[in-house]
């Protein structure tokens, strides 16, 4: 399933790597792509293995607020 | 923790700044101990977010600029350079604060667009109406929109009429009159009037949302230059870090080596190019021009050959029968009604004009049409009540070996030279008449083509299946440089390939419906108008939301301007890097001044890109 999270304004291009790497490490995540300029993350994940809330928490743990 | 730091980053920045200021005032009183403790406190406070980010990135095994700054600050504290350490940390935070603020502005075009869609809609349920969130809307829901309201979904008008401002989609702010049966788009606004509409596409399926998604993705798509710069900066940063280590090992000068760390961040280099794209693509979106990414911008700016499909792109695409000539004893209506009956089944736009003409003359059409055979690019054959008809162009005549007598040939040639398309009608291998059809040139095309030339286009090419003479007439009228006529649909691809070999860049403009393969084959496929919606929007590189030539000009000028802006930014960034390196080596630039120059260069490139938002249509 695909889920898009709207984050607070992203300003450092290195955040992209941080968020993508951090999410891809989670089991059940097939792909995670940051749309830097739109400050969004698109995540494809297996609903059986992880959930929207887990992902949201992971992003917030990385230091980015999810709107 | 992370969120707390993010939220309070600015407060820490302000406290730190305040402390530094106090320290400078106190410094005049010669109280070294107080000054130092103020500066150290300022450093520590401003370091919190920096160190935290450095730690986070290190955990992800990515090399971050925060890590370098952290090392530099620790070094500065060790050698007692408290002024430097505090100013560096403060400037770093202040710089990223300004960066975020200005970046937000470059992105504002899209946000303004997104705000065009209302949050709630008035839904009609039986006799009652109900205000619901737009997320809960579904296909077939009946929705009411009043004067001044925004339309929440794509759909057909069931009742009412209104003048609708479609600027959010087409970039054109002149209201369009809409009435029963017309299609309206979400995100557009009712100027005056009232409509009752039936939802067709809601939420993410609506045209407007698709456009937004496309633009957001386009803004993130990097051009080749950007990809190169990114790779460069990935090497540059660790390289400078290594250099600073080497400098330390050789000179044992901690101050000099930590200065290197601070200038190792290629900030303006990394942000300069993308920020031009974001601002430029945002400008396009506001003017009804969708540019699909930095790469597309690059290619569009280099295009020197514009190729147009004649029908519907250069002409109005609404052909009309202007004259019918009968070559038999019978009245023209005798065979014309049969021809129109055959054309009823055909999808061809010329066929439609024939049917239309028959209706205008109250001819009675029949559905007794048999053994229909369509030859693409040539015409159609069928029989009506046992009479065999062939209807088509000269090529079709040749195929069935009919020769025109001199007088008929002369007549046809005269008409073609006037820009008319001549259709030959034969009955059982005997020619019975000619139908002249005219598709007038669109207004306002010629001046735009002239302006395109002034902006760098070398030549215009027209491709058409129409007769050479007809095509030439239209080409002369519009000052088109090259004409390839009498083409079969598949020939168009061959010509595009040929033109691509001979020229720097080839743009193909079409309506995106019939010419999709040609659009895909050219360097830049440009779809004019959203009538072919989904297919056109997806396959084309550039989409003009409104079928308008002034938007074509804007797209071309904008692409050139974005590329120019991008190079300016790259130049600014490179000059800064060179200046800093030389400055550090000559001992003119220290920690704080290095950070200042660096942050200033980042802000300058963002401000420069912001100018693209104001770039006007001409």
The pLDDT score that the predictor gives to residue A3 is 85
**CATH number for the domain running over A2-61:** 3.30.70.100
Residue at B601 is within a domain: no
Specify whether B1 is located in the same domain as B141.
Answer: no
The CB-based long-range contact list for B58-63 (8 Å cut-off, 24+ gap) reads B60/A17, B60/A18, B60/A21, B60/A22, B61/A21, B62/A14, B62/A17, B62/A18, B62/A21, B63/B237, B63/B238, B63/B241
Confidence at residue B2, expressed as pLDDT on a 0 to 100 scale: 67
Contact A12, A61 (CB under 8 A): no
Shortest Cα–Cα distance, B456 to chain A (Å): 31
Q: Of B422, B438, B454, which closes a domain?
A: B438
Radius of gyration of chain B (CA): 33
Task: Tell me B512's DSSP state.
Answer: S
Judging contacts by C-beta atoms under 8 Å, the chain A residues touching residue B278 are: 37
| Contact list, A13 vs chain B (CB under 8 Å) | 270-271, 274
Q: Are residues B16 and B45 in the same domain?
A: yes
CA angle B79, B234, B62 (to 5 degrees): 70
Residues B462-475 pLDDT 10s: 988 888 888 898 89
Distance from CA of A49 to the nearest CA of B (A): 22
Q: What is the DSSP string of B208-230?
A: HHHHHHHHHHHHHPPPHHHHHHH
Cβ atoms B573, B272 nearer than 8 A: yes
The answer to whether residue B286 scores a pLDDT higher than 70 is yes
SS3 category, B158 = strand
Kindly report the CATH number assigned to the domain that includes residue B410.
Answer: 3.40.1110.10
Rounded mean pLDDT of B142-154?
Answer: 88
Indicate whether B530 pLDDT > 80: no
Give the count of beta carbons closer than 10 Å to the beta carbon of residue A29: 20
Residue B575 within a domain: no
- Bridge partners (DSSP) of residue A45 are A29
Which residues form the domain of B51?
A: 1-106
Q: Which residue of chain A is at minimal alpha-carbon distance from B102?
A: A11
Report whether pLDDT(B461) > 90.
yes
Which residues in chain A touch residue B52, judged by CB atoms under 8 angstroms apart? 63
Indicate whether B32 belongs to any domain.
yes
Torsion angle of the four alpha carbons B492, B497, B498, B504, in this order, in degrees rounded to the nearest 10: 120
What does the alpha-carbon distance between residue B378 and residue B399 come to, in Å, rounded to a whole number? 9
B235 found inside a domain: no
Domain assignment present for B245: no
Q: List chain A domain ranges.
A: 2-61
Residue ending a domain, choose from B509, B524, B559: B559
Residues B294 and B348 in one domain: no
Separation CA B343–CA B380 (nearest Å): 8
Residues 6+ apart with CB under 8 A from B209: B117, B186, B203
Same domain, B333 and B434: yes
Q: Which of B438, B466, B485 is the last residue of a domain?
A: B438
Q: Is the dihedral of CA B323, B327, B332, B336 positive or negative?
A: negative
Distant-in-sequence, close-in-space partners of B218: CB < 8 Å, separation ≥ 6 = B281, B290, B291, B292, B293, B296
Over 60: is that where the pLDDT of B131 sits?
yes
- Is A28 touching B (CB cutoff 8 A)? no
- Same domain membership, residue B506 and residue B433: no
**What secondary structure letter does DSSP report for B377?**
T
pLDDT at B300 over 90: yes
Separation between Cα atoms, residue B379 and residue B366, nearest integer Å: 20
Window from B97-106, B294-303, B461-470 with minimum mean pLDDT: B97-106
B57/A8 touch (CB, cutoff 8 Å), yes or no: no
Contact B57/A at CB under 8 A = yes
ipTM of the complex: 0.76
Question: What pLDDT shows up at residue B459?
Answer: 94
- Of the two residues B265 and B376, the one the predictor is more confident about is B376
Count other C-beta atoms under 10 Å from residue B366's C-beta: 13
Whether the predicted pLDDT of B119 surpasses 60:
yes
Whether residue B239 lies inside any domain: the answer is: no
Q: Is the pLDDT confidence value at B348 over 90?
A: no
Is any Cβ of chain A less than 8 angstroms from the Cβ of B303?
no
Does the structure show a pLDDT above 60 at B533? no
Give the closest-approach CA distance of A56 to chain B in angstroms: 13
Q: Which residues of B are known to be catalytic?
A: 309
**Which is more confident, B85 or B1?**
B85
DSSP B365: P
Q: Chain B partners of A17 at a C-beta cutoff of 8 Å?
A: 60, 62
A63·B56 Cβ contact <8 A: yes
- Answer whether B60 sits within 8 Å of A18, measured CB to CB: yes
Number of independent structural domains in chain B: 4
Domain check: are B390 and B487 in the same one?
A: no
DSSP string, B99-134: HHHHHHHHTHHHHHHHTTS-SEEEEEETTEEEEEEG
Q: Which of residues 587-606 of B touch A (CB under 8 A)?
A: none
Q: Which residue of B has its CA nearest to A23?
A: B60
Residue B260 pLDDT: 83
């Amino acid at each position: 399933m695909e889920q898009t999270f709207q984050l607070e304004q992203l300003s450092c291009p290195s955040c992209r790597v941080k968020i993508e790497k951090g999410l891809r490490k989670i089991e059940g995540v097939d792909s995670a792509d940051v749309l830097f300029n739109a400050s969004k993350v698109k995540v494809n994940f297996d609903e059986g293995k992880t959930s929207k809330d887990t992902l949201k928490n992971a992003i917030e743990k990385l230091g980015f607020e999810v709107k | 923790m992370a969120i707390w730091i993010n939220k309070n980053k600015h407060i820490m920045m302000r406290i730190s700044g305040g402390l530094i200021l106090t320290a400078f005032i106190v410094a005049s009183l010669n109280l070294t101990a107080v000054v130092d403790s103020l500066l150290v406190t300022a450093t520590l406070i401003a370091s919190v977010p920096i160190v935290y980010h450095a730690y986070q990135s290190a955990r992800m095994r990515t090399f971050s600029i925060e890590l370098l700054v952290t090392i530099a600050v620790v070094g500065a504290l060790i050698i007692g350079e408290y002024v430097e350490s505090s100013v560096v940390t403060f400037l770093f935070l202040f710089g990223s604060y300004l960066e975020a603020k200005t970046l937000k502005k470059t992105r504002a075009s899209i946000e303004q667009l997104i705000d065009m869609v209302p949050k709630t809609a008035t839904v009609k349920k039986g006799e009652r109406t109900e205000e619901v969130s737009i997320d809960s809307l579904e296909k077939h829901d009946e929705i009411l929109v009043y004067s001044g309201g925004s339309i929440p979904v794509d759909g057909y008008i069931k009742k009412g009429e209104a003048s609708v401002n479609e600027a959010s989609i087409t970039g054109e702010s002149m209201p369009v009159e809409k009435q029963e049966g017309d299609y309206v788009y979400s995100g557009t606004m009712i100027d005056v009037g009232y409509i009752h509409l039936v939802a067709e596409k809601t939420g993410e399926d609506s045209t407007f949302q698709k456009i937004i998604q496309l633009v957001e993705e386009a803004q993130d798509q990097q051009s080749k230059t950007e990809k190169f710069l990114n790779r460069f900066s990935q090497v540059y940063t660790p390289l400078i870090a290594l250099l600073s280590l080497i400098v330390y090992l050789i000179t044992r000068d901690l101050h000099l080596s930590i200065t290197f760390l601070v200038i190792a961040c290629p900030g303006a280099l990394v942000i300069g190019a993308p920020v031009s794209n974001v601002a430029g693509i945002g400008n396009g979106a506001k003017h009804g021009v969708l540019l699909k990414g930095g790469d597309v911008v690059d290619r569009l700016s280099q295009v020197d050959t514009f190729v147009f499909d004649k029908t519907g792109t250069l002409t109005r695409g609404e052909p009309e029968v202007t004259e019918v000539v009968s070559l038999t004893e019978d009245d023209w209506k005798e065979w014309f009604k049969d021809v129109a009956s055959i054309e009823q089944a055909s999808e061809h736009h010329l066929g439609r004009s024939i049917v239309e003409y028959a209706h205008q003359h109250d001819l009675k059409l029949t559905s007794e049409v048999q053994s229909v055979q369509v030859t693409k690019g040539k015409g159609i054959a069928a029989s009506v009540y046992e009479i065999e008809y062939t209807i088509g162009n000269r090529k079709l005549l040749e195929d069935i070996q009919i020769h025109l007598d001199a007088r008929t040939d002369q007549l046809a040639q005269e008409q073609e030279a006037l820009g008319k398309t001549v259709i030959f009608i034969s009955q059982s291998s005997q020619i019975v008449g000619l139908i002249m059809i005219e598709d007038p040139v669109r207004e306002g095309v010629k001046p735009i083509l002239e302006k395109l030339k002034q902006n760098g286009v070398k030549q215009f090419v027209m491709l058409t299946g129409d007769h050479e003479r007809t095509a030439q007439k239209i080409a002369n009228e519009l000052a088109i440089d090259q004409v390839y006529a009498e083409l079969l649909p598949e020939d168009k691809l061959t010509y595009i390939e040929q033109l691509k070999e001979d020229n720097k860049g080839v743009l193909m403009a079409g309506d995106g419906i019939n010419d999709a393969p040609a659009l895909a084959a050219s360097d830049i496929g440009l779809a004019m108008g959203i009538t072919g919606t989904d297919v056109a929007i997806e396959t084309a590189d550039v989409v003009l939301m409104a079928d308008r030539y002034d938007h074509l000009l804007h797209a071309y000028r904008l692409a050139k301007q974005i590329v120019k802006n991008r190079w300016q930014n790259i130049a600014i960034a490179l000059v800064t890097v060179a200046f800093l390196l030389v400055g550090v080596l000559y001992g003119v630039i220290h920690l704080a001044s290095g950070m200042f120059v660096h942050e200033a260069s980042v802000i300058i490139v963002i401000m420069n890109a912001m100018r693209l938002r104001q770039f006007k249509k001409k």
